[in-house]
Amino acid sequence: MKLNGSEIIIECLKEQGVDTVFGYPGGAILNVYDALYKHSDEITHILTSHEQGASHAADGYARATGKVGVCFATSGPGATNLVTGIATAAMDSIPIVAITCNVTVPLLGKDSFQEVDIAGITMPITKHSFIVKDVNKLADTIRRAFTIAKEGRPGPVLVDITKDVTANECDYVKTTPKTIERVTDTIKEEDIVKAVNMIKEAKKPVVFAGGGAIASDASDELRRFVNKVDAPVVDSLMGKGAFDGTDPRYAGMLGMHGTKAANYSVTECDLLIVVGARFSDRVTGNTRKFANNAKILQFDVDAAEINKNIRTDASVIGDALEILKRINALLDQCNHSEWIQHVEELKADYPMKYNTDRLNGPLIMEKIFEVTGGDAIISTDVGQHQMWAAQHYNYKKPRTLLTSGGLGTMGYGLGAAIGAKVGCRDKVVINIAGDGCFRMNMNELATAARYNIPVIEVIFDNHVLGMVRQWQDLFYGKRYSATVLDDSVDYVKIAEAMGIKAYTITKPEEIVPVFEEAISLNIPVLIECQLNRDDKVFPMVSPGAPISEAFDREDLDKKDNQ
């Protein structure tokens, strides 16, 4: 049948099982929105307050559901406003398809009104960027975009479509989406055998779980693998929930703000088994002194990650789930009881400490875990609150922590929370933000209110840019340049003005009743938590130092008293 380009776009989204699109209309994309209007009973459109919010919502939807997130934007500034969200998804390997529209073909390259080369701009931060100038190529391009976003290592894809293509007609034939096969052709039998032998020979193994274990849905197989290897587990920020954070084998997050037990375990181990992690600088610290006592065995779907940051002794390239299945089939039950006991002692000797007598981030996160039973989806912005959310909420399942790990995008969390809640209506969704981050995209409160999306927005309000101030305090002689937010902004009034119910918490005993009430209301809620500006995230590793030199407040006090 003959359809115009806009109708083809909608039909292709329906082919792919898309039920929700986040976006913002404009002149160049008007034809698409007109077609979308006619299919509003099949595809829900969430009008965000800003295109960046749409990109983060698509990202949060993808992370929480495991499906591809979709966002729309018009040409020029509409398209460029997606860039930060696309880059966020790229750094964390999140599958989204961003569809933008541009000026007509005759106007391309002439500095026309609201014209920009968005395909060129996003080329370095997407798996692929398309520009469609021929309606006959439109359907296949959209189908390719979804395939590329999902296959192998996931990531964002941009499809830019000229306005005349959205109006032109051609024949459309409905097609069943291509089945995405797991990457197995790169898994070599000799690599599997070598990996099994290395595991058998190890006396002090540690399993390091990253975001790839979540992307491949390998959580159950990872648990079986860990039990067979009989090893403690550490994770990256992106890997949280891949392995149950309440399991006795769990030693904590690795790296700059990881637990001392995790950092010391990796420093002492003789085999580090890496499942879907990329050895970020925030994980490794000084790479020359990282896991020097260990052989490194890395499993990753992306061959480019092998030997990129840390030299490996062996690797297996392919889908993490399939790799773990094959190794589990060959591996006999191991016994490392003495090593497990040693790591248990490290956990006992170096617990995560904080002051329970006054309101602070760690206490709030532990109380949120208590109230939700660990079954909520937590999104975060970036900074101290992000680290407290990672350290003090035990993620039991994958896809329950949504956070910008690679790009570190302030303002990410609220949009992501909206996307997650739209995709997972039965889940409690809570965004943890600092007051500095909240200012970046707080306009998305209006989105939550407009659609009555019951997310809980939590502001850790310490009146400073907390993490930057922490670095200024520790490494810049307490010169607090441009990090103090002493002003008269009233976040409760802002929330109420946007139609959001709001609370303020100032004392520990208020945490549980306020959160219980907020959850029970099942409406959008903002909770402002007044914190001390001098609170810090510990443990911490100084930039350039090895992770074995993690320090906390007690270590600083001892140093000051020497």
For residues 409 and 144, give the distance between their C-alpha atoms in angstroms, rounded to a whole number. Answer: 28
One of 91, 365, 440, 467 is an active-site residue; which one? 467
Closest CA to 471 of 544, 410, 414, 530: 544
**Among this protein's residues, is 163 annotated catalytic?**
yes
Q: Return the sign of the alpha-carbon dihedral for residues 52, 53, 57, 58.
A: negative
CB atoms within 10 A of CB 280: 18
Q: Is 158 helix (H, G, I), strand (E, B) or coil?
A: strand
For residues 276 and 211, give the distance between their C-alpha atoms in angstroms, rounded to a whole number. Answer: 6
One of 11, 72, 115, 163 is an active-site residue; which one? 163
**Among this protein's residues, is 298 annotated catalytic?**
no
Contact between residue 191 and residue 259 where contact means Cβ atoms under 8 Å apart? no
**Among this protein's residues, is 113 annotated catalytic?**
yes
- Residue 166 has φ and ψ, to the nearest 5°, of -70, -20
Query: No. of H helices and E strands in the chain?
Result: 24, 20
Half-sphere exposure of 513 (CA within 13 A, CB side): 7
**Among this protein's residues, is 114 annotated catalytic?**
yes
Cis ω for the linkage preceding 351 (within 30 of 0): no
Q: Which residue has the tokens 């034809």?
A: 31
Tokens coding 327: 């190794």
Residues 6 or more apart whose Cβ sits within 8 Å of residue 401? 237, 240, 241, 377, 378, 379, 380, 389, 390, 393, 395
Tokens coding 289: 């002194």
- Specify whether the backbone of 24 is left (phi greater than 0), alpha (psi in -120 to 50) or beta: beta
Q: Is 422 helix (H, G, I), strand (E, B) or coil?
A: helix
Give the DSSP H or E segment for 149.
helix 138-150
In 293-404, alpha helices (H): 320-330, 337-349, 361-372, 384-392
One of 113, 169, 203, 475 is an active-site residue; which one? 113
For residues 425 and 423, give the distance between their C-alpha atoms in angstroms, rounded to a whole number. Answer: 6
Strand partners, 377: 429
Q: Which residue has the tokens 């990090």?
A: 483
One of 15, 114, 151, 510 is an active-site residue; which one? 114
For residues 266 and 183, give the distance between their C-alpha atoms in angstroms, rounded to a whole number. Answer: 29
One of 7, 51, 305, 528 is an active-site residue; which one? 51
Contact between residue 21 and residue 44 where contact means Cβ atoms under 8 Å apart? yes
Contact between residue 212 and residue 152 where contact means Cβ atoms under 8 Å apart? no
In 216-336, alpha helices (H): 219-229, 260-268, 281-284, 320-330
**Among this protein's residues, is 509 annotated catalytic?**
no
Q: Which residue has the tokens 């193994």?
A: 205
Which residues carry out catalysis? 51, 113-114, 163, 467
